[in-house]
Amino acid sequence: MILVIDNYDSFTFNLVQYIRTIGEEVVVIRNDQLSLEKIEQMQPDHLLISPGPGNPDSAGLCLDIVKRFYKKIPIMGVCLGHQVIAQAFGGMVIKASKPMHGKISFITHDQNGIFRDIPSPLQVTRYHSLIVDESTLPKCLEISARSEDGEIMALRHKHYKVEGVQFHPESILTENGLQMLLNFFIKECKDENKSYENTTTSLSL
């Protein structure tokens, strides 16, 4: 089961619909209507932190969710969720050089993780005015994609199954968006979960 943390955003349900097309069970709960204990009880296989307005500090329980579960449950963040991941590990979120609302960009990526078997460069759709500040990026996170002007478009934890994308994979104008979700929720996680479980006890930030 995939637990989606909804940051009060209309795009959340586009994401949910997309995920359901790949045959996964999805449960959606808003960011201020659950507790860490409730998540423990639900025992989700994956967590998805949705897009939303505002910044990570206004995203309900999301920062605490990442800090509590990143060693236990694969986590994917989209847009605001991506920023939440960065801030949870010590990064800062700042104003982007220019707002990108419904804008198309081309990104280059490392063809690993969610980008496996996807060509680079890649067209994506962006809806954001904030960005992760690269100068504050913690050592445990690596940049997996950049925009044409060098802004961070995706991040990945170096040791745990945690990835974030600044763009919207569910947008009709984002190329290979469904493949990204398949890579994270189906191919990669199900192939590698056991190896991650075997190594997490010896890894640290």
Q: Spell out the domain ranges in the chain.
A: 2-202
Run of H or E including 88: helix 80-88
pLDDT at 139 over 60: yes
User: Among this protein's residues, is 79 annotated catalytic?
Assistant: yes
Query: Active site residue: 109, 128, 151, 170, which one?
Result: 170
With vertex at residue 126, the alpha carbon angle to CA 28 and CA 129, rounded to the nearest 5 degrees, is 95
* Residue 189 is a catalytic residue: no
Is the separation of the CB atoms in 94 and 103 below 8 Å?
Answer: no
The region of weakest confidence among 1-5, 23-27, 186-190 is 186-190
Does CATH place domain 2-202 in 3.30.43.10? no
Please name every residue paired with 131 in a beta bridge, in sequence order, or none if there are none. 94
Report DSSP state, residue 50: P
pLDDT tens digits along 72-124: 999 999 999 999 999 999 999 999 888 888 889 999 999 999 999 999 999 99
Annotated catalytic residue within 79, 109, 128, 140: 79
| CA dist., res. 88 & res. 85, Å (int) | 5
Residues 166, 162: Cα–Cα separation, whole Å: 14
Residue 16 clears pLDDT 50, i.e. is over it:
yes
Q: Is 140 a catalytic residue?
A: no
Active-site residue, from 168, 175, 188, 189 = 168
Coil vs helix vs strand at 109 = strand
The confidence score (pLDDT) of residue 188 equals 58
